[in-house]
Structure 1
Amino acid sequence: MKRLLIAAGGGGDPITAALLHAALYGADAPALVLTYAWERLVVDPVPGPRRATDFTGTEPVAPGVALVTPATAPVAPAGSLLPRLARDLRPRLGLLDPYGGTRGLARQIEAAARWCRADRIDLVDVGGDIVARGDEPTLRSPLGDALAAAACAATGLPTTVHVAGPGLDNEVPLPDLLPRLGEPAFALDAAHTETVSGVFDWHPSEAGALLVAAARGVRGVCGTRDAPRPVLLDDAARQVHRLTLDRVLALSPLARALAGCASLEEAEDASRAVCGFSEIARERHRAAHPERPPGPRPAPHRPAPDAASLTDRFAAWERDALAQGIAYATTRRITEDLDLTGPQARILLAGLRTAGPVRHVPPLWRLAAP
């Protein structure tokens, strides 16, 4: 028997699901994490989620259920970090394909449950947008979470929803979010993070990194790249809230609107009706009009990275960040704010690491006053 967990939103949510699996059942308990291959344009320049046919080397184990392995690879021009996650995380990873809407997802989840011999589901969300009303001005990516909730309901399997790190995704304001979540069920600590400790050396997920940092005792204001405002890491940021699926459906108009949905296009229509936007349409627009080309930063016609100049650039950026009250920063925030290529980022961060623990507070970076 394997535990069946579903990472509600894609991107870094499989990491949080693996973290929650270790906290709930023990890191060595057999488990399958179903997740979307739906990643930021900086990782996958093709808008929207990927499906199994967008990969080579997946492992089919049940009708509509394909596992991602370290040998799996996305078909160009798509990109994905899931094969590398499959190498670094202990639970097996399986693909959720939302192109058949809620109905298609429900069939996949049912098939996965039979393969796992699981009689219940743990649905995992980091941040809390799974309980969004849809009218929050900071809401950016509710569709995957709402589809997962609606699909779990359609299976009829008992489902527990776990919201970890309330507010860390910066989508639903905390004063609105916390009353919806109720009292926390438990708190994560440093021991729970051991199984994902090396992932954030290379994975850009910011909400996941913030959750790990909070569990390890980091406290203070952290600047992220993919959020409208800094995030406060306090004791509440390491809490996990447990909700019934009925409670989530009562809170989420979008999840209710997706009941019976038979395609991703129908799901987009429901999102426009409830939330006023389609996040896939937004991705299409950003891909067509990028602030910078998505994907790995190229370095044509640039001089060789110079450690001293990189340090000077970082110092100027750091002074500005400190003036804004920011005490910590994610790797992604530093890399993208400074517009660093891969080699430049490696040189700068290696230099910061040699400054000792005062700088590197894995997976975050502590800013230091001059």
Structure 2
Amino acid sequence: MARRLCVASGGSGDLVAAWALSRLPSLDRTVAFAAPVWERSALDPRPGPRGPGDLCGLVRDPRGRRIAPTTSLPGGWSPLPRFVEVSGSDVFFLDVTDGVENLGRHLARLCARAGADLIELVDVGGDVLAAGDEPGLRSPALDAVLLAACDASGIEAVVTVVGAGLDGELSPAELRRAHAELPLMHEQVIPRSVAGRAYADLAWFPSEASLMMLLACQGLVATVDIKAGLDPVVLDRAASIARTYLLRAVARRSRLVQAVRQAASFDEVNAALSDAGQVSELASERLFAKRAAAPRSPSEVSAALAHLDDRVTYTSLRRCAHIYGASSRAQVDALDAMIRRSFAAAYRKPLVPTFLMKEFGSRLHADMGVAP
């Protein structure tokens, strides 16, 4: 029986899937979870991943730096402390700012001290499987760094992908290519009962792909508009399938992993990805931070709502926030609360029925108070 450390591949949201997977019947036992702290701009306006000095209240555990319910992120907010409180799980902080080799050594020490003999890198959406030449990649840095570090740790490691395609980064054809080129170790389905319990406990979590995955596991079939200019993502029972691959095979297939292996800082990761032809999420966040966020005028909102596709079943909360110009956590939370009050049972966070947005969206905007 393996004792596994579950690692969130793309950030804190992947812990939702990791927690659900840990509830499945298995001979393996999850001994702990681990994740970096890098939240999107609405939650943490400072670009880039956070180091240990950026967090207050990390617990000095013999096994490693542990996140507690009282841990905080000055100047921003991370859902990890609340996740620890709700789940009752041990979650350890991973410092991805200190280079790939140091992170690999950290993972090896953490496994040794926690009694884990297997690392399971968990990803919702499947962009962790990218070869590196896919044009839709928007967040390659964390996946590449964690793949490289897990590979360098010397610990047996696997990659598990669930909710393939729900992040909108890899196309269905690119995902099929990855599945065909990577030997599959095993696959399993997250049952409705497990997903339902996870959703009941974690529906507050600000990870749209993870929550959509849990809704699909419960039987929701839909198409979702998640971002302007992207094709809608499809929710169906296929999103409930968790596929597991040898991490070594995934890492060797990725030219981005090869590019970042020698990086000694996150700036070097960013530069290596740029040299490899990819724009990292750090570069994107730095560009976003230079732009002044501005709320939308009523006419701009009306025009955006009119362009929503009637054939798409749902519009995601984050897409709605972009339409309204709600760019801070407080504004997004206010929008979430107003949608919940206005649409009640028709709203299953983060999914807003598109026909309701088209019919009543302008009224919501007027009530939000974000318009100039």
- TM-score, normalised to structure 2, is 0.83
Unaligned runs of 5+ in 1: 294-308
2:314 is matched with 328
Contact 2:125–2:167, Cα closer than 8 Å, also in 1: yes
1:338 is matched with 324
SS of alignment partner, residue 47 of structure 1: coil
Asked if residue 261 in structure 1 is aligned to residue 275 in structure 2, the reply is: no
How far has the Cα of 1:68 moved from its partner?
Answer: 0.9
1:4 is matched with 5
1:343–1:278 Cα change, 3 Å: closer
Contact 2:274–2:280, Cα closer than 8 Å, also in 1: yes
SS of alignment partner, residue 76 of structure 2: coil
2:162 is matched with 164
1:349–1:157 Cα change, 3 Å: same
Aligned runs of 1:62-81 on 2, under 5 Å? 62=62, 65-75=64-74, 77-81=75-79
Q: Which amino acid aligns with 2:7?
A: I
Q: Which amino acid aligns with 2:316?
A: T
Distance 1:245 1:169 in 2: 20
**CA distances 1:61-110 after superposition (whole Å, capped 9, x unpaired):** 247x31111111112x2332221222223432111111221111112111
How far has the Cα of 1:189 moved from its partner?
Answer: 2.3
2:150 is matched with 152
Q: Which amino acid aligns with 1:349?
A: R
Distance 1:365 1:38 in 2: 26
1:296 is matched with none
How far has the Cα of 1:205 moved from its partner?
Answer: 1.1
Contact 1:222–1:230, Cα closer than 8 Å, also in 2: yes
Distance 2:229 2:97 in 1: 28
**CA distances 1:117-173 after superposition (whole Å, capped 9, x unpaired):** 011111111111112122222111111111111111111111111011111111111
SS of alignment partner, residue 99 of structure 2: helix
**Aligned residues between the structures:** 345
Distance 1:128 1:4 in 2: 19
Q: Which amino acid aligns with 1:254?
A: L
Percentage identity across paired residues of the two chains = 29
Distance 1:256 1:50 in 2: 23
- Structure 1 window deviating more from structure 2 (159-168 vs 334-343): it is 334-343
Unaligned runs of 5+ in 2: 360-372
Q: What RMSD over aligned residues (CA atoms) do the two structures have, in Å?
A: 3.0
- Structure 1 window deviating more from structure 2 (253-262 vs 239-248): it is 253-262
2:368 is matched with none
Distance 2:55 2:36 in 1: 13
Distance 1:41 1:265 in 2: 18
- Structure 1 window deviating more from structure 2 (66-75 vs 89-98): it is 89-98
Q: Which amino acid aligns with 2:52?
A: A
How far has the Cα of 1:228 moved from its partner?
Answer: 2.4
1:181 to 179, 190, 195: 179
- Structure 1 window deviating more from structure 2 (256-265 vs 230-239): it is 256-265
1:348 to 339, 344, 355: 339
1:72–1:227 Cα change, 3 Å: farther
Q: Which amino acid aligns with 1:16?
A: A
